[in-house]
Each structure stands twice: as structure tokens, then as C-alpha cells.
Amino acid sequence: MFFGIIVVNKKKGSKHITTLYEGAFAKINLTLDVLDKRPDGYHDIQSVMQTISIRDDIEIDVDTGKPWTLICDKEGVPTDHRNLAWKAAEVFFEQTRRQTTGLEIRITKRIPMEAGMGGGSADAAAVLRALNRHYGEPLSIMALAELGSLVGSDVPFCVLCGTAMVEGRGERVRKLPDMPDCCFVVCKPDFSVSTPELYKKIDDSTIPHRPDHQKMESAILAGDLGKIAENIYNVFDPVVTQEHLELNYIKSIYNSYGSIAQQMTGSGSAVFAIVQDFEYAAVICNMLRENYPNVFIAKPV
């Protein structure tokens, strides 16, 4: 998969600055199951994740000769070592023993935040891919994904992209065939959900229904969109929906206008629909835009 890295050399004064460009693509969880709590406090999960065409853009100036900086066009995104993109660059230079005289990372944000769409992880993964390519691929793509697990649970998947079965804390990623072509509509309501609180709620209750991963994998292997739609399930969805009934409103709009499956992604609060035709996706988008500014149409990547 090619995410469009372009290297541009610009002359700034007497210095040549090299700029790397990389796309950072969002993910959705077609399935998500929460398994046991691990000794390290994290939970094991099992999830079929899918990369979608909603993207942030990452630009990296290398060897700037100045202290590291990070600029993001969106307010509220940390612009220091707390940013996962920054952390990814630190981990890359530490582990590969490559060196730079200075870095500037610029992020153009389009992936909604606190949505369960892995925005920060996608940015981190894009930084890893861009730096690895620029420094002559010291790491294989699998080693790069493994490195990503030091940055965040969703980063290994975001390095590899496509359709994959993700297990453990997120560090075990098994690629699956690409899912069949379709449209996604994704709507991010105004509220956000605290992921640690959600895990606590799941720990304190019994999970009444879980996704059937065998059936989902067979559906993907068969390229059967109808069966994929039948097997979409996220254990967090009913827990969040119980407290935020507007998710039902969004799903009812999806359902009324040709969606074949609708579900919350990750720990929310974005909800996606699978729609076979772009025309239906456009109608849904128009309907929801009256109340929700953050509605997108996307394709599987």
C-alpha cells in the first residue's frame, strides 16, 4: 500500500531542508471484544480493524538544526512529547540509532478526536513509516509495527493498515484480505467517552453478547459484504448507547437510508454505517449534517 510519501528538498537560507509527507489514515473496529484483564492493567482485546480514507496529513522536516517542534492546526492537540507523533519519532531514533539535527512535525488534523478512530495512533504510525523510509528502511514493516506497540496499542495496526485481526493489547496483528468495496458514513457526536471508565464498566458487568470472530473472518475471506455486515459487533456499543441515546438516533437515520450495518467504533463516540451505494451515503450525510457537523463519507483503504 502506498500512502504517498514525497520527499522535497527546500533551500532555507544556506541550508537544505528535507520534508517528508505521509498520510495518516483513521481506523474503525468492525468487531471489538474485550477479553481478560492482564497483569499490566490493560485488557486483552480481539478486533477486526479496518483502515478508512479519512486522513490527517503529516509533514516532517528532518535535520532542521533546531530543537524539535510540533505544530497542529487543531486546538487541544498536545504539541510536545505527549503527542503520539512526537513519541513515535523519539522511539524510532532511539531504537534504530539513527540521528537527526532537529525535527519539525506538522499535523493537519481531519480525523475527529476522541472518536474511537485512532487519530493519534494513525499520526504516530505515519511518522514511523515516513522516518523508516527516509532512513533507508532499517526496520521491516513488521518490525516497525512491533516498535509501534511502544507508542500505543492501536499503532501496530495503523502501521500495517488494511483489514486485520488484532489481538493481545493490540500488538498481535494478522492481516486479512482487503474487505470488499463499499462506503462508510461516520458520524462523531459532540460528546466524548472516557476509555478507562468504559473498561471499568465492562469489568463490573457481564458482557451479554460478543462478536463471532470465526464468522467475521470467513465473511472477509469470502469477500461477502452482506455477511460482514451481519457480523459487525462492538461490546462497548450497548454500554455507551445506554447512556447516550442519541447514538440510537444516528443509527436510525443510517437504517432508514440504506445502511446494511451500523455500530460504534472503538470506545466511541463515533458511529459508522456500511452503505453499498455512494448515493445513499450522500443522502445520509445530508440528513445528519443538520445536527452534526462531523459527518464523513469514507471508503475502505
Q: What angle do CA 112, 115, 116 make, to 5 degrees?
A: 125
Cell (9 digits) for 301? 483503504
**Binding window for ligand ATP (CB under 6 A); candidates: 41-49, 78-86, 88-96, 209-217:** 78-86
Is residue 154 at the binding interface for ligand ATP, with CB under 6 A as the rule? yes
Q: Which is nearer to ligand ATP, 225 or 262 (CB)?
A: 262
Q: How many residues of this chain bind ligand ATP (CB under 6 A)?
A: 21
Pick one of 28, 88, 120, 288: the residue that binds ligand ATP (CB under 6 A). 120
Closest by CA position to 285, among listed 264, 257, 263: 257
Is residue 121 at the binding interface for ligand ATP, with CB under 6 A as the rule? yes
Residue 278 beta carbon to ligand ATP: minimum distance, rounded to whole angstroms: 25
Residue 119 beta carbon to ligand ATP: minimum distance, rounded to whole angstroms: 4
Pick one of 23, 116, 156, 211: the residue that binds ligand ATP (CB under 6 A). 116
Catalytic pick from 154, 188, 237, 251?
154
Q: Which is nearer to ligand ATP, 276 or 294 (CB)?
A: 294
Residue 175 a catalytic site member: no
Closest by CA position to 124, among listed 159, 80, 100: 159
Q: How far is CA 20 from the centre of its chain?
A: 21
The answer to whether the Cα torsion of 116, 120, 123, 129 is positive or negative is: negative
Can you spell out the DSSP letters for 193-216?
--HHHHHHHHHTS--S----HHHH
Residue 192 beta carbon to ligand ATP: minimum distance, rounded to whole angstroms: 8
Phi-psi region of 136 (alpha: psi -120 to 50; beta: other; left: phi over 0): left
Pick one of 85, 139, 166, 274: the residue that binds ligand ATP (CB under 6 A). 85
Q: Which residue is nearest to ligand ATP (CB)?
A: 120
Residue 105 backbone dihedrals phi, psi, to 5 degrees: -105, 130
Cell (9 digits) for 138? 532499517
Nearest-angstrom CA–CA distance, 277 and 181: 10
Pick one of 20, 123, 173, 292: the residue that binds ligand ATP (CB under 6 A). 123
Using CB under 6 A as the binding rule, the residues of this chain from 245 to 284 that contact ligand ATP are 266-267
Residue 27 a catalytic site member: yes
Q: Which is nearer to ligand ATP, 268 or 300 (CB)?
A: 268
Q: Which helix (H) or strand (E) holds 126?
A: helix 119-134
Nearest-angstrom CA–CA distance, 49 and 152: 15
Q: Which is nearer to ligand ATP, 45 or 219 (CB)?
A: 45
**Binding window for ligand ATP (CB under 6 A); candidates: 5-13, 77-85, 162-170, 215-223:** 77-85
Is residue 23 at the binding interface for ligand ATP, with CB under 6 A as the rule? no
Nearest-angstrom CA–CA distance, 261 and 275: 8
Instruction: Tell the residue number behind the cell numbers 487543531, with chain if given.
Output: 74
Which residues are registered as beta bridge partners of 279? Answer: none
- Residue numbers at the binding site for ligand ATP (CB under 6 A): 77-78, 82-85, 107, 113-121, 123, 154, 195, 266-267
Q: Which residues are catalytic?
A: 27, 154
